Amino acid sequence: MKKAKHVIRPLTKPIRHVSNWCIHLWDGVSGKDHRRVHQLRHELAIAQENAANLTQQLAQAHTQYTDLQKAFNDQQQELDARQQALADHQQELENSRQQYSELWQELDAWVTDSDAQIQFLKRELRNRTSALTNCEANLNTVQQSNLAAIQARSTAPITNEPTTPVITLADWKIGFVGGHEATRRVVIQTLRSDYGLVYTAVEIPSHREVSTSQKQLKQKLADCDLIVSIVRYSNHSLTKSLMQLKEKGGLKGKILTPNSRGVSGVVRDILSFIETSTSLDTEEAG
């Protein structure tokens, strides 16, 4: 029997070969290769997990870096602030040193001036102490003289002979120019207690004690009948101003310059001058 042309016969044999090949291939894959694929999948999962961990660690590291950067910036700002504060303190220290130097110079100048003033005060103290000693000695002399006069009067016999009239200063206005303060005080007290001085005596201290202008000198001595100029303890300028006022007619009073020293000598010269002046005035009036 002849075979017909173009008849499609089933491919049973090739299909069987392909099936066998696929079965062998699957057996090969499901064998050693299948285990390799499974291992690779496992390693891939581990790698993915490691990648996730690394990503998380990277994020944490970035966060830590950000925090550290912020802390560094804060510390840098604090360092800048401290450096600025240090610069300010250094400037204040320099200013304090400058002020200290100026104060030290002022202290040196003050100490120098104080030493000069102390030396001047010491000299004045010695002078016044010496004057006070002289006044005390003069006072003792006057007291002894008065005591001797009183004793002499008490023991003297009473006679009918006319006695010398006692000088009275009730109408006299007296001014004192210069002289130690203690000397003026004792002289004025003696004139008041023993010779009836009523008006308050005008006192013009030496320029060493108080500076007095010529105008003030004229105002204070304008009403004085007698001006006692103690030149031994007076300034040349004060004496010169007094004489100029007298020459210009600015003073009506007479000027007496005692020749004696001490309280008793000044009192004696004043009484002698007043007695002589009173006698001359009486003669002129007669």
Look at residue 157 in the predicted model and tell me its pLDDT.
56
Give the whole-angstrom CA distance, residue 73 versus residue 231.
89
Domains of the chain with CATH codes: 168-285 (3.40.50.10700)
Terminal CA-to-CA distance of the chain, rounded, Å?
221
Amino acid at 75: Q
Give strand pairing partners of 226. Answer: 174, 254
Q: Where are the alpha helices (DSSP H) in the chain?
A: 12-28, 34-155, 181-195, 214-221, 236-247, 262-285
Look at residue 125 in the predicted model and tell me its pLDDT.
86
Q: To the nearest whole number, what is the mean pLDDT of the chain? A: 81
Look at residue 58 in the predicted model and tell me its pLDDT.
92
What residues of the chain score a pLDDT lower than 50? 158, 160-165
- Record the pTM: 0.44
Look at residue 2 in the predicted model and tell me its pLDDT.
52
Give the whole-angstrom CA distance, residue 177 versus residue 217.
9
Contacts of 135 (CB under 8 A, 6+ apart): 180, 182, 183, 186, 263
Contact of 206 with 179, CB cutoff 8 Å: yes
Dihedral Cα 54, 56, 58, 62, nearest 10 deg: -170
